[in-house]
C-alpha cells in the first residue's frame, strides 16, 4: 500500500504572550508590519508582574501560556515579554517543543532588539532598563557580546515600572519619582551611555516620563519596531510557517484576570475596542 502523505499541520493565528499589558506594545507594532494575519493575545494579568519571580516560576508560567496558545491552534508564539524570553525561551525551545508538537515554534524579543541596538550606539556604551528577572539573567549582556564583544552593557532593574503600568498609573505624577530615579541611576553607573534600551515591553507606556528625564544626547530604544521587523523577516525566510498562519486581520484577546478589567485597560492601550475572554492556565 502506498504510504499516506503526512497530514498537513493545522493553520491558526499568531500567538503573542506577555505577563500582562506590556505585550500589547509589541502586538501593535507587529500588526502594523503584518496586518494580514490573525492574532491571539494572551496576558497572564492575574499573575503579573513576573519580573521578581524565580527562574522556576517564570518558566512554569510561560510554559503554561505557550501550551494554552498551542492548544488554541497557534503554530507560532512570540514571547512579547523580556522576562519570559530571558528566563524561559531557551528551555522551552530545547526541552519542551518536541513534546508539544515539533512543528510549532516559539520566538522571543531579546535577540531582535540586540541585533538592532548594536548598530545604534556610537560611544559603544549601552544601558538596559528592565525587570530584575531580565537584568539578573544577564541575557542582554550575553546576546550583545555575541555580536559586539567591545560594547559595554550596563543594566538597571526598575521594579516599580511594571506595577505602575499594570495599575494604569503610568501618566500619574507618582510615576515621575520612580522613572527619574532609575534613569538617573543608570546614567550615574555609566555616564558614557548613549543608547538606552527599554528591555521590558511595558516600558513604552511610560515613554512620556522616560523622555522627560533622559538627557538630550541619549537615544531611547523601545523594541516593538525591531521585533516586528525581525518577525516579518523570519516569516519571509520560513514560508512554510507563514503558510500556516490564518489571515483576515482578526485579533482576539485572552486574559487570566477579569475580562472586564482587561477590556477596559486594553482598549486604552490599543486605542479601540477589544474582544476578550478570561481563561485559566
Ligand atoms: N513585559 C514584561 C517584560 O517585557 C514584564 C515583566 C513583568 O511582568 O514583570 O519583561
Report which of 200, 203, 211, 208 is spatially closest to residue 171, judged by C-alpha positions: 208
How many domains, in total, are found in the chain? 2
> Is the confidence at residue 10, as pLDDT, over 80?
no
State how far the Cα of 204 lies from the Cα of 228, in Å rounded to an integer. 15
The closest-lying atom of ligand 1 relative to the alpha carbon of residue 52 is 9
Residue 26 binned pLDDT confidence (cut-offs 50, 70, 90): very high
Mutation to probe ligand 1, out of 28, 47, 49, 159 (largest number of atoms < 8 A from CB): 49
pLDDT computed for residue 1 by the predictor: 47
User: Model confidence over 153-178: pLDDT tens digits?
Assistant: 999 999 999 999 888 899 999 999 99
State how far the Cα of 209 lies from the Cα of 189, in Å rounded to an integer. 20
Query: Looking up cell 516560576, which residue turns up?
Result: 57
Do 114 and 240 belong to one domain?
Answer: no
Residue whose CA lies nearest to ligand 1 atom number 8: 49
Tell me the CA–centroid distance for residue 265 and ligand 1, in Å.
17
Do 132 and 187 belong to one domain?
Answer: yes
> Is the confidence at residue 247, as pLDDT, over 50?
yes
Tell me the CA–centroid distance for residue 7 and ligand 1, in Å.
37
Average the pLDDT over 51-80 and give the result.
95
pLDDT computed for residue 9 by the predictor: 59
Average the pLDDT over 18-42 and give the result.
95
Residues 6+ apart with CB under 8 A from 123: 192, 193, 194
Q: 64 by DSSP, 3-state: which?
A: helix
Tell me the CA–centroid distance for residue 162 and ligand 1, in Å.
7
Do 99 and 163 belong to one domain?
Answer: no
State how far the Cα of 94 lies from the Cα of 268, in Å rounded to an integer. 37
> Is the confidence at residue 277, as pLDDT, over 90?
yes
Average of per-residue pLDDT values in the chain: 93
**Domain with 121 in it:** 110-222
Q: Is residue 79 part of a domain?
A: yes
The finding on whether 48 has its CB within 6 A of some atom of ligand 1 is yes
User: Model confidence over 73-111: pLDDT tens digits?
Assistant: 999 999 999 999 999 999 999 999 989 877 899 999 999
* CATH classification at residue 253: 3.40.50.1860
The finding on whether 53 has its CB within 6 A of some atom of ligand 1 is no
Put simply, whether the predicted model's pTM sits higher than 0.85 gets the answer yes
- Between 272 and 261, the more confident residue is 261
Average the pLDDT over 171-195 and give the result.
97
Amino acid at each position: 500500500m502506498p504510504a499516506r502523505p503526512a497530514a498537513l499541520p493545522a493553520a491558526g493565528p499568531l500567538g503573542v504572550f506577555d505577563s500582562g499589558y506590556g505585550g500589547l506594545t509589541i502586538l501593535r507594532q507587529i500588526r502594523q508590519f503584518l496586518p494580514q494575519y490573525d492574532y491571539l493575545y494572551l496576558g497572564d494579568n492575574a499573575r503579573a508582574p513576573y519580573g521578581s519571580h524565580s527562574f522556576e516560576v517564570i518558566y512554569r508560567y510561560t510554559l503554561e501560556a505557550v501550551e494554552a496558545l498551542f492548544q488554541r491552534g497557534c503554530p507560532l508564539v512570540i514571547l512579547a515579554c523580556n522576562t519570559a524570553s530571558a528566563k524561559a525561551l531557551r528551555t522551552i525551545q530545547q526541552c519542551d517543543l518536541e513534546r508539544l508538537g515539533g512543528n510549532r515554534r516559539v520566538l522571543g524579543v531579546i535577540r531582535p532588539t540586540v541585533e538592532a541596538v548594536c548598530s545604534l550606539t556610537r560611544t559603544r556604551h549601552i544601558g538596559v532598563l528592565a525587570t530584575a528577572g531580565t537584568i539578573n539573567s544577564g541575557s542582554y549582556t550575553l546576546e550583545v557580546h555575541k555580536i559586539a564583544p567591545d560594547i559595554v552593557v550596563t543594566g538597571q532593574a526598575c521594579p516599580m515600572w511594571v506595577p505602575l503600568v499594570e495599575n494604569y498609573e503610568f501618566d500619574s505624577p507618582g510615576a515621575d519619582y520612580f522613572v527619574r530615579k532609575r534613569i538617573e541611576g543608570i546614567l550615574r553607573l555609566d555616564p558614557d551611555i548613549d543608547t538606552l534600551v527599554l528591555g521590558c515591553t511595558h516600558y513604552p507606556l511610560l515613554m512620556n516620563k522616560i523622555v522627560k528625564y533622559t538627557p538630550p544626547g541619549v537615544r531611547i530604544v523601545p523594541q516593538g519596531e525591531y521585533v516586528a521587523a525581525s518577525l516579518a523577516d523570519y516569516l519571509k525566510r520560513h514560508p512554510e510557517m507563514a503558510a500556516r498562519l490564518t489571515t483576515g486581520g482578526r485579533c482576539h484577546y485572552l486574559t487570566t484576570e477579569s475580562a472586564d478589567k482587561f477590556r477596559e485597560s486594553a482598549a486604552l492601550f490599543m486605542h479601540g475596542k477589544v474582544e476578550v475572554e478570561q481563561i485559566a492556565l
